[in-house]
A and B are shown apart, each in its own frame.
Chain A
């Protein structure tokens, strides 16, 4: 019998119970090379297999099928096959061969990039990531690819939905870096600056033994978002102590222009800031950060106007324009209007007198929604606390940790804490 036919029969036969699937897995691993050699016949094989029941087999065949060079026309046909498979496949089966699954998905990504239609794979990769995850806190290599495609396809909201899950389990640090970096960019696109700051902060302060390019780029964006959101950025307080020493020493050497931009921002002179941006436009453009830099300049106006709300009850538009160094009352009016719409200040504009009246924050913290909000926050934090204690307990029981601590601990007393020898490596 044709080995391929035999394989197909086995796949079809052994895909029902977990025991069978385990045996199938072994068989498939052995048959991997032979599959690759028969790539031309594989499309017909694929037609015989059902993705939802024979997921594991389908996966192996698909992997062999897509492993060669694929031209654009071929991509047209393979993309639907892969997307169909992802949507239909069985999660437990593919978790037995995660690397292959990841490989297939990566090829999908390459193909849609070749076809210049990244949006075609946004949905499928979303499903794929969810299926591959062991839990919602688990980061897979697919997450970063998914986010990259969201960025390219400009589907920011879909990307945001996966970012809402907190990530705690990570297999590969590199995945984390890319995930946080792309995630940060998506949040910037949606103007969720606080969340972007958190994600970028994770990249910059992650433990790393040597500097990598992702961290450098993330640091540049971190500086800019920090300026936009907080209105200040001090180099002395920028990196907390728990950031790796490599990061603390060398990151700033690569981001000289941004640090100077932050210093110029700190002087609160808009003219200087704009001049600096003008002279260094190309450098910012090369890093693809020019848009963000322009937002930084805009945020300076906003911050100045916000400061005015602290000292004045009413102020004429002309005075606002003068204090904030804008060119005309019309511009001041536009800025104030934009800020009111964005909810950054509370004010009313009296166009007849050309006056702006600043109001207090109307939030009284008395409504039911607010109570619910506070209550849910408390619940969330309590859950987080529990998680923290659980992790603490887990580490104290961890073998490696105990052995390291046991080795380094002094023996004060003869019969004090005798560490069992089996923990000494």
Chain B
């Protein structure tokens, strides 16, 4: 349908379309816009961006988020998850998915007990074999083999979904690492498992450990580490630092880190966090003029457009893009919890930026620029003024916002007088207390003397 819409980030238009139909202004809006499509969220395209365990995790997340309203999508997601899991060795996850499907997808997608048992048996055998090998290596005290043995164990546990054990095994290889390559390998594995487990503190520590190795790392590894660090910061709500990390990622990474993150995600996360936290100069230098990051932004043209709109003060269209993207972003496993906060921050920044250059602003015009009603806008502005983010006062009678700059001189005088009074009070009570204590002490020592 749209040439631009290459499986990168299709939108759920239903929600927007419903709102639009109610307003009755849907037609003209659509024709004016560059990128908008009526496609459903394409799960297959989305899932094809990822590989490995994260693919399954994401599909399951989408299925959970859809709930019962959108059962078509939910079943689609579960079906794909089922297929993925069958390719692997994780019987625990298999059982979970089958429970969730609950027989709704027909006989092909029911509990395959035989398969489960086969997988479990294979797992037992493999584990025994690995154990024996490892013991042999340990008695022989060959560092390299022991390291390989632990690595194999780690891989094994990871494939079977025992993430905690996997992490422990990977970490154990640390004592047997001889070259920096080994260390890097260990760090990357540890990071992967930590991200899957959701323990992002480990991620941060292993990223710094990897970055500290003496040898120069190759581009791809550096890019991977940046992504992982960015993710960790995002999850811990440090949006500014997350944005910086994502923006420093080299575009050569491409899809090579599919087991964790897709390049579209880097663009989206980086773009949104930057928009929510950077000021204008930073936004221009680090995002808009950033040639490297441009490669990522090409993959998600909506994000590119919305950043440009924000910078050039076309707030209405910027906020429209955001509204469209919202439904998709809520299905993303990492961004899900942060969408609301980021959106609020972006909206507030837009409001503040709008009022900054003016001495007085007509609220009617501002409301139409932001496509809200005057009373809604007034409420938002009052909140921002009370928070001291906008220096202005509202003339509610004429619906005008007047900029107001605090009078430094008067404020200083007031503070001075207040400080003087405070000092006066404090010293007087101190002197009084001193006298009381002295009197008390005198009385006591007098009685002691006697």
Chain A residues near B (Cβ < 8 Å): 166-171, 173, 176, 198, 201-202, 205-207, 242, 307, 310-316, 319, 353, 355, 358, 360-361, 363-365, 373-374, 377-378, 380-381, 384-385, 387-388, 391, 395, 398, 400, 425
Q: Which residue in B417, B421, B445 is a CB contact (below 8 Å) of A400?
A: B445
Q: Quick one: CB contact mask for B352-392 with A, threshold 8 Å, 1 for yes? A: 00000000000000000000000000000010011000000
B397 touches A365 (CB 8 A): no
B420 touches A381 (CB 8 A): yes
Within 8 A of A (CB), among B394-450: 394-398, 402, 407, 409-410, 413, 416-417, 420-421, 423-425, 427-442, 445, 449
Chain B residues near A (Cβ < 8 Å): 382, 385-386, 393-398, 402, 407, 409-410, 413, 416-417, 420-421, 423-425, 427-442, 445, 449
B439 touches A171 (CB 8 A): yes
Complexed CA–CA distance, A27 and B25 (Å): 109
Chain B residues positioned under 8 Å from A398 (CB to CB): 438
B393 touches A384 (CB 8 A): no
B432 touches A381 (CB 8 A): no
Closest residue of chain B to A173 (Cβ to Cβ) is B436
B402 touches A380 (CB 8 A): no
Known: A311-B393, A313-B394. 17 other contacts (CB 8 A): A173-B436, A198-B428, A205-B429, A205-B433, A242-B433, A311-B385, A311-B386, A313-B393, A313-B402, A355-B397, A358-B393, A361-B410, A374-B417, A381-B420, A381-B424, A388-B427, A388-B430
Closest 9 pairs between A and B when the two form their complex, measured CB to CB: A365-B413, A313-B395, A314-B397, A313-B393, A311-B385, A315-B396, A377-B420, A314-B395, A355-B397
Q: Could you list 13 examples of A-B contacts with CB < 8 Å?
A: A168-B435, A170-B435, A170-B436, A173-B440, A201-B429, A206-B432, A307-B386, A353-B397, A355-B397, A364-B410, A377-B417, A377-B421, A378-B420
Chain A residues positioned under 8 Å from B398 (CB to CB): 314
Complexed CA–CA distance, A358 and B394 (Å): 11
Closest residue of chain B to A199 (Cβ to Cβ) is B429
Complexed CA–CA distance, A140 and B429 (Å): 18
B410 touches A363 (CB 8 A): yes
Nearest-Cβ distance from residue B404 to partner chain A, whole angstroms: 8
Chain B residues positioned under 8 Å from A374 (CB to CB): 416-417
Complexed CA–CA distance, A377 and B416 (Å): 10
B432 touches A167 (CB 8 A): yes
A311 touches B382 (CB 8 A): yes
Chain A residues positioned under 8 Å from B427 (CB to CB): 384-385, 388
Of B385, B398, B428, chain A has the most CB atoms within 10 Å of the CB of: B428
Known: A173-B436, A361-B410, A388-B431. A312 touches B393 (CB 8 A): yes
Chain A residues positioned under 8 Å from B442 (CB to CB): 400
B420 touches A198 (CB 8 A): no
Chain A residues positioned under 8 Å from B435 (CB to CB): 168-170
Nearest-Cβ distance from residue B385 to partner chain A, whole angstroms: 5
Complexed CA–CA distance, A201 and B445 (Å): 28
Q: Which residue in A207, A355, A361 is a CB contact (below 8 Å) of B433?
A: A207
Complexed CA–CA distance, A314 and B421 (Å): 33
B397 touches A400 (CB 8 A): no
Chain A residues positioned under 8 Å from B420 (CB to CB): 377-378, 381
Known: A311-B393, A361-B410. A391 touches B434 (CB 8 A): yes
Chain B residues positioned under 8 Å from A166 (CB to CB): 428
Nearest-Cβ distance from residue A222 to partner chain B, whole angstroms: 13
Nearest-Cβ distance from residue A329 to partner chain B, whole angstroms: 14
Complexed CA–CA distance, A388 and B438 (Å): 15
Nearest-Cβ distance from residue B292 to partner chain A, whole angstroms: 44
Complexed CA–CA distance, A6 and B394 (Å): 88
Closest residue of chain A to B440 (Cβ to Cβ) is A207
Chain B residues positioned under 8 Å from A380 (CB to CB): 424
Closest residue of chain A to B401 (Cβ to Cβ) is A313
Chain B residues positioned under 8 Å from A363 (CB to CB): 410
Nearest-Cβ distance from residue B359 to partner chain A, whole angstroms: 13
Nearest-Cβ distance from residue B256 to partner chain A, whole angstroms: 52
Closest residue of chain B to A315 (Cβ to Cβ) is B396
Closest residue of chain B to A354 (Cβ to Cβ) is B397
Chain A residues positioned under 8 Å from B396 (CB to CB): 312-316, 319, 355
Nearest-Cβ distance from residue A299 to partner chain B, whole angstroms: 19
A207 touches B410 (CB 8 A): no
A202 touches B432 (CB 8 A): yes
Closest residue of chain B to A357 (Cβ to Cβ) is B397
Complexed CA–CA distance, A173 and B442 (Å): 13
Closest residue of chain A to B386 (Cβ to Cβ) is A311
B397 touches A198 (CB 8 A): no
Closest residue of chain A to B384 (Cβ to Cβ) is A311
Chain B residues positioned under 8 Å from A171 (CB to CB): 439
Chain B residues positioned under 8 Å from A311 (CB to CB): 382, 385-386, 393-394
Q: Which residue in B382, B395, B428 is a CB contact (below 8 Å) of A384?
A: B428
Nearest-Cβ distance from residue A118 to partner chain B, whole angstroms: 28
Q: Which residue in B395, B409, B423, B438 is a CB contact (below 8 Å) of A381?
A: B423
Chain A residues positioned under 8 Å from B402 (CB to CB): 313
Nearest-Cβ distance from residue B406 to partner chain A, whole angstroms: 10
Chain A residues positioned under 8 Å from B416 (CB to CB): 374
Nearest-Cβ distance from residue A131 to partner chain B, whole angstroms: 22
Chain A residues positioned under 8 Å from B407 (CB to CB): 360
B397 touches A391 (CB 8 A): no
Chain A residues positioned under 8 Å from B437 (CB to CB): 207
Complexed CA–CA distance, A318 and B442 (Å): 64
Known: A170-B436, A374-B417, A384-B427. A310 touches B386 (CB 8 A): yes
Closest residue of chain A to B404 (Cβ to Cβ) is A313
B431 touches A391 (CB 8 A): yes
Chain B residues positioned under 8 Å from A365 (CB to CB): 409-410, 413
Complexed CA–CA distance, A387 and B441 (Å): 21
Nearest-Cβ distance from residue B390 to partner chain A, whole angstroms: 9
Nearest-Cβ distance from residue B127 to partner chain A, whole angstroms: 55
Closest residue of chain A to B446 (Cβ to Cβ) is A400
Chain A residues positioned under 8 Å from B395 (CB to CB): 312-314
Chain B residues positioned under 8 Å from A395 (CB to CB): 434, 438
Chain A residues positioned under 8 Å from B445 (CB to CB): 400
B385 touches A206 (CB 8 A): no
Chain A residues positioned under 8 Å from B382 (CB to CB): 311
A170 touches B410 (CB 8 A): no
Complexed CA–CA distance, A197 and B377 (Å): 41
Chain A residues positioned under 8 Å from B436 (CB to CB): 170, 173, 176, 206-207
Chain A residues positioned under 8 Å from B394 (CB to CB): 311-313
Closest residue of chain A to B397 (Cβ to Cβ) is A314
Complexed CA–CA distance, A385 and B423 (Å): 10
Closest residue of chain A to B423 (Cβ to Cβ) is A381
Of B386, B393, B420, B423, chain A has the most CB atoms within 10 Å of the CB of: B393
